[in-house]
A = this chain, B = another copy of it.
């Protein structure tokens, strides 16, 4: 990202360091987001975020991966207004109740007070509902499969960059169907897309499942989630998919005439993934040296560092980069006037998967030093000949290794528990699979006692009945739930 101003303290390598995770995970996160130049805070605006070029490039790469999958599953993009009349929101009672505390409201525009205040969209079900009511009339119009890339605003009192900011970027899919089965199939299809993107793109193994009623989207009949484990053992909700039943269709008169001429309400869905996913990538993979980026989301997959003031090394680096770009690798040549040691630390902080060092002695021998940011490969001397061509396979292997590491981490910190002490111990730095009575009051009690909340009822959990982990009443969900502390 050569055109972005680097941190002014570029030459003070000491300042690149971050607080170790084990000492203070939260401080580690906050420092890393700023020092890796992923995001920044504008002065005097609490809760707002600037996504800097290095962070935004991760978002662009995630967008490409998601957008391609949305289109492959028959969706098209559109754009709906940012400012929504308050009366739209009020048409769905649960929805307005759920979002009211978080709304930002435009009361004046064009120099005058507005007759009706406009809400800055916290999500777009309502304005899209108004349009679907207008556009849909026959069963031939269904399904309607539209996605929107947009910014949304939800007023946050305890902001955190990427995780909770007053504004964030996301995509929101909104679909309308003739019946429950088709809408539920869509809901699960998009949850599958999210799971696949988390695993195959972000190298994060996630647990898909349904939310309990207390964690449902405001206005949904059922909310599904993918939950990822961060390096402190907490859970992060990384994408959600909602089946709305006919709730929004009834509120907005989204109706169609079926083949028999009968007017029926549509069944609708919505699903979203946001810039929060960048927070997931940081916390699921990062270590005390900095970011560890999955290759498919890394702005630079490979950085080549020419060593010494030798022009030949720089020329060879550029030649290698050109060859690597030809096989589709995102490669950057670091030509800054700084010491190799500074550069190595900098790219480790920034989480670049592979680093190639090219010095005069390497060149003379026809070799290069290849260093992987994590894993088995470590530091090795490789032949320059064929190196560029080998990079795509090396990056795939790196992805697999990173995913494997995250899977092992999840497996080691997730356990089925059958008594409260084991539960309380497990959720300190991991996840507990436990049976639960289903009572909201008992969920609240568990949260007060342990900090943990039900993250989801995992789709893959086998059938099981028994006593609630907390209160001993009979279990309610027919299987174990995942409990964890969460972001």
Chain A interfacial positions (CB closer than 8 Å to B) = 1-6, 8, 10, 40, 42-45, 48-53, 56-57, 59-60, 74-85, 87, 100-111, 116-118, 120, 127, 130-131, 134-138, 140-146, 150-151, 153, 155, 157, 166-167, 169
B110 and A102 contacting across the interface, CB-CB below 8 Å: yes
The contact of A5 among B110, B117, B141, B150, by CB within 8 Å, is B141
| CB closest residue in chain B, given A120 | B106
A428 to chain B, nearest CB (A): 32
Q: Give the residues in chain B near A1, CB-CB below 8 Å.
A: 76
Identify 15 residue pairs between A and B in the complex whose beta-carbon atoms are under 8 Å apart, listed by A's number.
Answer: A10-B140, A40-B131, A45-B81, A50-B78, A52-B78, A53-B146, A56-B77, A56-B78, A56-B79, A82-B120, A83-B104, A100-B111, A103-B109, A108-B117, A111-B155
Q: How far is the CA of A105 from the CA of B5 in the complex (A)?
A: 32
B82 and A167 contacting across the interface, CB-CB below 8 Å: yes
The contact of A57 among B76, B80, B135, by CB within 8 Å, is B76
A461 to chain B, nearest CB (A): 33
Q: How far is the CA of A427 from the CA of B249 in the complex (A)?
A: 51
B110 and A108 contacting across the interface, CB-CB below 8 Å: no
| CB closest residue in chain B, given A40 | B131
Knowing A6-B141, A134-B40 touch, does A45 contact B83 (C-beta < 8 A)? yes
B131 and A42 contacting across the interface, CB-CB below 8 Å: yes
Q: A103, A120, A167: which has the most chain B beta carbons within 10 Å?
A: A120
B135 and A5 contacting across the interface, CB-CB below 8 Å: yes
Q: Give the residues in chain B near A150, CB-CB below 8 Å.
A: 151
Q: How far is the CA of A109 from the CA of B109 in the complex (A)?
A: 16
Q: Give the residues in chain B near A116, CB-CB below 8 Å.
A: 44
A3 and B44 contacting across the interface, CB-CB below 8 Å: no
Q: How far is the CA of A249 from the CA of B157 in the complex (A)?
A: 32
| Top 3 closest pairs, chain A to chain B, by CB | A110-B155, A5-B141, A53-B76
Q: How far is the CA of A8 from the CA of B6 in the complex (A)?
A: 55
A105 and B104 contacting across the interface, CB-CB below 8 Å: no
Given contacts A51-B79, A109-B155, 7 further A-B contacts (CB under 8 A): A8-B138, A42-B80, A48-B83, A50-B80, A56-B76, A104-B118, A105-B108
Q: Give the residues in chain B near A82, CB-CB below 8 Å.
A: 82, 120, 151, 153, 167
A51 and B78 contacting across the interface, CB-CB below 8 Å: yes
Q: Give the residues in chain B near A167, CB-CB below 8 Å.
A: 81-83
B131 and A44 contacting across the interface, CB-CB below 8 Å: no
Q: A56, A60, A137: which has the most chain B beta carbons within 10 Å?
A: A56
| CB closest residue in chain B, given A114 | B104
